[in-house]
Amino acid sequence: MDNLTHSLFAVTLARTPLSRAGRGTTAALLIASNGPDIDILATAGGAVNYLSWHRGLTHGPIGIVGLGLISAGLVWGGRRMLDRRRGVNFSETDAPFWMLAAVAIIGVLLHVLMDLPTSYGTRLLAPFTWRWFGADLLPIVDIYLLIALAAGLLFGRRSAEARRRNATIVLAVMAANYGLRAAAHHQALELVPRVFGPTLPQPCDPPPQATWPIDSWPRATPSPPPPGKRCLIEAVALPSFTSPFNWRIILQLSNAYEVRDIDILDPRLRDDADPSAVPWRVTTRYPNIWAPPVQRAAATHLGQVFLGFSRLPAARSTTDRDGGTTVRFTDMRFAAGPVSIDQPVSRAAPFTATVRMAPDGAVLQETLGR
């Protein structure tokens, strides 16, 4: 989730019984709830370095405990410093360090758990494993969560009782939002056969991976099918930023991706709808050809970093007149236009990696984004 959502959620938590920890609780929750995103400092080493560390160590078990202790130490030390300047002694209302540490660890943990249900995902167990985990229930920024959190803080300032009551209401609304999105996500996947109609290929052998509440990647690159065979590897439903009923369906096929945006409330997708009214013919197709040059590009430093991050990598390659090769990888979760070699990469499209190689296979250039 975005840092504004994390911050508003931290202040909401400070209005729950966690506030009984004592003075310093709100500050500890605010710092801890944003602490995991300190990995943005990795951008000092470049975009590729950031992608290597993003949502890694700071979002794993060691980071949760470590950042919780650091957050508590900052609040406890800062409070002691201010009290000495003011000539104020320790009060019974001040939270002791161990209590601040417990509250801060909860704040960091909830940050990670809020990142988990997004389509972006998080490396939940780093550094023990650098695999990504995600549940595809929410976009990175959920405007409905933001509205609920902001409204709860705006209308709950009159008294401590009102603040606690509003915090309870907001948490209930958040739970309902998660539940609604989970049900809508399940329904979007159920509609895949009707959305793609007769164009939906048969599952590959072995069959597609089972759908679990929490997905994990990267996955092994599938072996190319026999010539002329087109089969289904996986179907994914990704949430939209605008409505919990709008979803992007991505089919990963043996040689391409097919993309379709749907509204699960569309009457044309009901079982009793006229079959001729189902718009299954309107589908965007992205080739995904893992030719030998693509395999060589995947073994480069950029290729390893990008493919370690990318959940749905689409690969294209082209050879120029002098025998050099250009390979482009695009994460289909973030593809907004054609995926082709001659299509310029937007400056705001960091989820595309390009590798240029000489005729002898030597790497000439590696670029992330533009």
pLDDT tens, residue order, the chain (370 aa): 999 999 999 999 999 998 888 889 999 999 999 999 999 999 999 999 999 999 999 999 999 999 999 999 999 999 888 878 877 666 667 889 999 999 999 999 999 999 999 999 999 999 999 999 999 999 999 999 999 999 998 876 677 788 888 999 999 999 999 999 999 999 999 999 988 888 889 888 765 555 568 899 998 765 666 666 788 999 999 999 999 999 999 999 988 999 999 999 988 887 766 666 655 556 788 989 888 999 999 999 999 999 999 999 999 999 998 899 999 999 999 987 555 445 554 444 568 999 999 999 899 999 998 6
Question: Which among 308, 314, 340 is positioned nearest to 326, based on CA atoms?
Answer: 340
Geometric angle at alpha carbon 346, from 342 and 349, rounded to 5° = 115
First vs last Cα of the chain: how many Å apart? Answer: 25
How far is it, in rounded angstroms, from Cα 27 to Cα 104? Answer: 9
Residue type, 118: T
The burial class, CB within 10 Å (0-12 / 13-18 / 19+), for 250 is buried
Helix (H, G, I), strand (E, B) or coil at 32: helix
The whole-model pTM stands at 0.90
Cα–Cα separations (whole angstroms), residue 252 to 88, 91, 208 = 64, 60, 10
Rg from Cα positions in the chain: 24
Quote the CA–CA distance of 95 and 264 in Å, as a whole number: 49
Amino acid 324 reads G
Encoded amino acid at 21, one letter = A
Residue with tokens 């606690």: 164
Gap between the Cα atoms of 292 and 139, Å rounded: 35
